[in-house]
Chain A
Amino acid sequence: MGTALLIGLIAGIGILDERIFGATLFGRPIVLSVLVGLVLGDPIQGVIIGAQLELVWMGLAGIGGSTPPDWVTGGVIGTTLAILSGEGVGIALAIAVPVAVLAQSLGILVRVINLYFANRADRFALRGDFRGVTLMMWIPPILFFFSTSIPAFLATLLGAEVIQGFMDSVPQWIIDGLNVAGGLLPAVGFALLLDMLFSRRTAVFFALGFLIAVYLDIDITGLALVAACLAIILELYMKHNSREESTEASDNLVEGAIDFE
């Protein structure tokens, strides 16, 4: 019971990261799973599971007005049940991914309910009532908190034995398959990042990053530093010169055309 409450608390505060804590990213799986691991007495397993979940969901971000799958509820429940049942990373992903999709609808529900508070805020504004608007500001975060903490609390309370019993009845080939699938899932995360960043103009840099990493055996920190230097060199020297020489020519370029020689 106490454990379940703590897990619920982690999920509830986790969702508030992008609501009232300015999206400092402590609500991402790579951080939350560690906290879950600490509560359950296995922080190292939490770190490892968090890394895998972050890989899968790295491409997810609430861009524009969109509501992505709820990585907070999915990640916290997946990590909790995987650690409690002792089944490891594969099962964490197999639980987390579908749960995140289901939990998304709760997030959407809260954003619909918030229309009511937006409406009330308008009426307070008519009277110049700062306190009224402030109140309308602080009720929705409470709803967001419960939209993730309640599912996480219930799953922890009821889930561990269910999962363990379930896992005992599942054939080995499915468990092996889940571990393979866990290895594939990060590809979705990378594809989503590509979708966000891709343009024909910069496609070659994806290839370059891949090839450098594959053949030169460099780690991501090193690669990021090299990439930063390269990008600055290209922008400062090459592009600037070509612009000055031929402003007219570059005006004719359509989006996606290569405009640095």
Chain B
Amino acid sequence: MNDTTIGKRPLRQVFWRSFALQGAFNYERMQNIGYAYAMIPVLRKLYKTEQDRAEALQRHLTFFNTTPAVSPAILGISAAMEEQNARDPEGFDKSSINSVKAALMAPLAGVGDSLFWGTFRVIAAGVGISLASQGNILGPILFLLLYNVPHLAARFFGLRLGYKFGAESLERFAAGGLMERAMSIANIIGMMVVGGMVATLLTVETPLIFEMSEATVEVQSILDSIMPGMLPLTVTLIIFWMIRKGFKIAWLTVGVLVAGVLLSAVGIL
């Protein structure tokens, strides 16, 4: 007879194992091995026969890819569903475990990417870099703290809520527009901070000076009197436009490096 409650210890193991999600990342099924590996403590507890274990492992070795920070929420749901399956192997639709994973990984990656990559990381980097560029060791420390407090909280509570409330909770969360609103808030903050960083952390100045008959005119001070930060803004928008036109990032960075040397050589920058 199977023991059909997972209990605390295996769930704690899932939490720690979820950090290794991308350890065996591959181009075919991406985070699949990491996902199966994270589920093993649960599967070991619930299934005792070789056949049950084989089926469960194969289930979790299918394609999986999402933002690492939100993966514990999905793992929690998978754990809850495996538990239901172990309780009622005849009545439970096993394929629903993977359909729920597939249905959740894309929308959660959308929220995860914009919250963690697009907002928390951007804020942490903005604060960290502005200190670090003055040689202040607090920069990297604050960078890690500002990012990881929300990051680790999302991992911890994601797993708990996912397991406790199962798939319905996230569906309700999505249906109520909460997910959309969190993304929208994150997006606004991200955009404002990026705007602020362009203004404060990017220094592009021109040394150009025009000699008139009786006066010298510094181009930079004219630009500043129109609007400070005009050059950094222009450069950023040009590169943004080029990215949208499909220029490869690798070439863009090398191109900017070369352009910088050339523009400096002719005295424009």
Contacts and interface: CB of A to CB of B under 8 A. Distances in A.
Interface in A190-206: 190-199, 202-203, 205-206
Given A19-B20, A209-B192, A227-B193, A181 B259 contact: yes
A188 B253 contact: yes
A22 B27 contact: no
B128 A30 contact: yes
Secondary structure at the B interface, as helix, strand, loop or mixed, is: helix
B27 A115 contact: yes
A158 interface: no
Chain B residues touching A, range: 35 or more
Given A188-B249, A220-B200, 7 more contacts: A63-B117, A180-B261, A181-B258, A205-B188, A206-B194, A210-B229, A221-B127
A145 to B, nearest CB: 11
Contacts of B229: 210, 213-214
Nearest to B19: A22
A8 B69 CA distance: 27
Interface of B: 18-30, 32-34, 36-37, 40, 43-44, 47, 49-54, 56-58, 61, 65, 68-69, 109, 113-114, 117-118, 121-130, 132-137, 139-140, 143-144, 147-148, 151-152, 155, 181, 184-204, 227-229, 232-233, 235-237, 239-240, 242-244, 249-250, 252-254, 256-265, 269
Secondary structure at the A interface, as helix, strand, loop or mixed, is: helix
A183 B260 contact: yes
Interface stretch (A79-87, A148-156, A160-168, A228-236): A228-236
B196 A213 contact: yes
B200 A31 contact: no
B262 to A, nearest CB: 7
Contact of A223 (B196, B202, B249): B196
25 contacts: A23-B22, A25-B143, A48-B134, A65-B65, A115-B28, A117-B26, A122-B58, A128-B53, A129-B57, A133-B36, A139-B24, A140-B24, A141-B20, A141-B24, A177-B265, A180-B269, A181-B259, A181-B260, A187-B239, A188-B249, A205-B191, A213-B197, A219-B200, A224-B192, A235-B188
A191 B243 contact: yes
A125 B61 contact: yes
Contact of A187 (B49, B202, B265): B202
